[in-house]
Each structure stands twice: as structure tokens, then as C-alpha cells.
Amino acid sequence: MNLDKVKEEISSLVNKEVMVNVSGSRNKRQMYKGIINNVYSNIFTVLIEGVNKSFTYSDVAIGDVKIYHV
């Protein structure tokens, strides 16, 4: 998936509730539920339990981060 398509899809989810599935080290995965609140040129932020976490579009494009609309 190319970065422009990823940015477009994530931009369409601003202020919507999402599930974020993040691959960690040693094949560990973490699931977060939050709201995409800001999109920038290289990153986007998700408000998770009162804390902003940032993710890159390239991580989404390669599959290390997966976003699911709730």
C-alpha cells in the first residue's frame, strides 16, 4: 500500500474511534482503543486513555501498525 493512500485513509478517520494493533519486538502485539485526533505530514496521533501516542504512516504501510475503524 502506498503512503498517499494510507494518509488519505487515516485522514478520513480523524475524530473517529479506532483500534490500533501494534507489532512489538519478539512477535508481541499490543491493541489500543482510541481516537485519531491529529494528522501531520509524517505522523498521526491517537488519543489513548488521555495520552497522545504517535505513529508513522510508513509503519501502517508495511503492516507494523494496523488501524481498524470501530
List the grid coordinates of 63.
503492516
Q: Are 22 and 64 in contact (CB under 8 A)?
A: yes
Distance CA 19, CA 30 (A): 10
- Helix, strand, coil proportions of the chain in percent (round to 5)? 25, 50, 25
For cell 501502517, the residue is: 60
- Widest distance between CA atoms in the chain: 32
Domains of the chain (ranges; CATH) run: 3-69 (2.30.30.100)
Per-residue pLDDT tens listing for the chain (70 residues): 789 999 999 999 999 999 999 998 888 999 999 999 999 999 999 999 999 999 999 999 999 999 999 8
Q: What is the pTM of this model?
A: 0.90
